[in-house]
């Protein structure tokens, strides 16, 4: 497989079902041969990669392998350009995603964001990601920093200085900037409480986007996404709350423009597996464990069985219902519906 050509095809040839199928199968065969943990896993399942003719037949690597093995499809003697790590919880083992090409990650998240929201340079991005900023190796911070860099007029990272954030948001609104306020769930709720306690009406413009990335990280009591979104819409004066679905083990993200219904960019697909028989697909519209194809994971593994439970619909959109019972909590876990 010509890797340079394949890397370009990830974004250029996946808009159609046939194109996605072709690119995904080529990447599967490449990774089945070059990613040792994936090759071993496929072998233990008794699956011959050459016999796989459709993406529906591709086995998914359990996401837990990112905690214990080097998931690496690049040349064995090469080194990663960076390593993304999950935040984890106290005492929990963290995932490590060895990234051979940061340029590929940059292209994936930029194209993915712009697929749903238009040119990143048109947005002033305000980030409330305190727990992620306070450690190294966050893929979310990496993404937010580089998206922010496309519009330096306004925006930035804000840890716990809610007063400064409020002032900067108001300045951006007065200038007519398109505003994106993105934050981990507990940080947005903390900010909402600050606004209420100070009796501040933020008055964001109508086209402003408030986006939560999930996760309480043990900082607050878990609440349903519906309850959280109701709280945030009142606090920020917006009609709906957007959401981002991503994780350390993936180099692409899905987005929801409201109601917790996520959609993927063309090079990413989500399906559901039967929780009792993981190699069997769940029925359309039935709850199951989520499987993700992320073709931007070219140099690691593009076929990952994650520990989230959800429902996938016929048009490819999906909802996240929470963690699979008994699964170790992930730092960026989505809220229970």
Q: Is the dihedral of CA 70, 105, 22, 59 positive or negative?
A: positive
Contact between 307 and 289 under an 8 Å Cβ cutoff? The reply is: yes
- Sorted by where each starts, the structural domains of the chain and their CATH numbers stand as 3-82+261-323 (2.30.38.10), 104-255 (3.40.50)
Q: Based on C-alpha coordinates, what's the Rg of the chain?
A: 20
123 Cβ contact list (under 8 Å, min separation 6): 117, 147, 150, 151, 155, 177, 178, 179, 180
Q: Nearest 5°: phi and psi at 108?
A: -65, -50
Using the structure block, give the residue that is written with the tokens 């984890």: 88
Contact between 284 and 313 under an 8 Å Cβ cutoff? The reply is: yes
Q: Nearest 5°: phi and psi at 283?
A: -70, 155
Residue 304 to residue 62: CA distance in whole angstroms: 6
pLDDT of residue 5: 66
pLDDT of residue 154: 87
pLDDT of residue 135: 81
- Print pLDDT tens along the chain (337 aa): 566 667 889 999 999 999 999 999 999 999 999 999 999 999 999 999 999 999 999 999 999 999 999 999 999 899 999 999 997 654 568 999 999 999 999 999 999 999 999 999 999 999 999 877 778 899 999 999 999 999 877 899 998 899 999 999 999 999 999 999 999 999 999 999 999 999 999 889 989 999 999 876 555 566 778 899 999 999 999 999 999 999 999 999 999 999 999 999 999 999 999 999 989 999 888 999 999 999 999 999 999 999 999 999 999 999 999 989 765 444 443 333 3
In the chain the first and final C-alpha atoms are separated, in Å, by 42
Helix, strand, coil % (nearest 5) of the chain? Answer: 35, 20, 45
pLDDT of residue 170: 94
pLDDT of residue 210: 98
Using the structure block, give the residue that is written with the tokens 């996401």: 63
Residue 150 to residue 139: CA distance in whole angstroms: 18
230 Cβ contact list (under 8 Å, min separation 6): none
Residue 115 to residue 265: CA distance in whole angstroms: 7
Alpha-carbon distances, residue 295 vs 193, 236, 270, 326 (angstroms): 39, 35, 12, 28
Q: What is the pTM of this model?
A: 0.92
Closest to 302 (Cα-Cα) out of 15, 2, 13, 29? 29
Contact between 51 and 77 under an 8 Å Cβ cutoff? The reply is: no
Residue 261 exposed, middle or buried by CB count within 10 Å (0-12, 13-18, 19+) = middle
Residue 306 to residue 35: CA distance in whole angstroms: 18
Alpha-carbon distances, residue 59 vs 111, 248, 291 (angstroms): 27, 20, 9
5 Cβ contact list (under 8 Å, min separation 6): none
Partnered with residue 127 across adjacent β-strands are: 157, 182
Contact between 189 and 335 under an 8 Å Cβ cutoff? The reply is: no
Residue 33: how many other CB atoms lie within 10 Å: 13
């Amino acid at each position: 497989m010509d890797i340079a050509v394949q890397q370009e095809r990830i974004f250029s040839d996946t808009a159609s079902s046939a194109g996605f199928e072709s690119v995904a199968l080529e990447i599967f065969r490449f990774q089945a041969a070059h990613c040792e943990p994936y090759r071993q896993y496929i072998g233990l399942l008794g699956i011959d990669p050459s016999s796989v003719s459709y993406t529906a037949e591709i086995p998914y690597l359990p996401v837990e392998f990112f905690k214990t093995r080097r998931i690496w499809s690049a040349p064995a003697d090469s080194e990663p350009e960076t390593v993304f790590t999950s935040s984890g919880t106290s005492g929990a083992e963290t995932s490590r995603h060895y990234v051979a090409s940061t340029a590929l990650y940059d292209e994936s998240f930029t194209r993915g964001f712009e697929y749903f929201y238009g040119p990143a340079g048109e947005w002033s991005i305000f980030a409330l990601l305190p727990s992620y900023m306070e450690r190294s190796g966050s893929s979310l911070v990496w993404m937010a920093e580089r998206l922010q860099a496309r519009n330096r007029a306004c925006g930035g990272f804000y840890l716990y200085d809610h007063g400064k954030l409020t002032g900067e948001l108001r300045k951006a609104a007065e200038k007519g900037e398109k505003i994106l306020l993105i934050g981990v769930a507990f940080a947005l709720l903390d900010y909402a409480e600050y606004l209420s306690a100070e009796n501040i009406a933020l008055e964001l413009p109508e086209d402003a986007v408030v986006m939560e990335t999930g996760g309480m990280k043990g900082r607050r009591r878990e609440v349903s996404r519906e309850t959280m979104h109701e709280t945030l819409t009142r606090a920020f004066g917006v009609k709906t709350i957007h959401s981002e679905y991503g994780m350390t083990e993936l180099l692409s993200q899905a987005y929801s423009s409201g109601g917790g219904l996520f959609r993927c960019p063309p090079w990413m697909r989500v399906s559901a597996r039967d929780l009792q028989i993981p190699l069997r697909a769940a029925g359309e519209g039935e709850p199951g464990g989520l499987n993700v194809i992320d073709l931007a994971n070219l140099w690691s593994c593009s076929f990952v069985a994650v520990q989230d439970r959800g429902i996938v619909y016929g048009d490819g959109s999906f909802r996240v219902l929470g963690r699979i019972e008994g699964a170790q909590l992930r730092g960026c876990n989505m809220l229970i519906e």
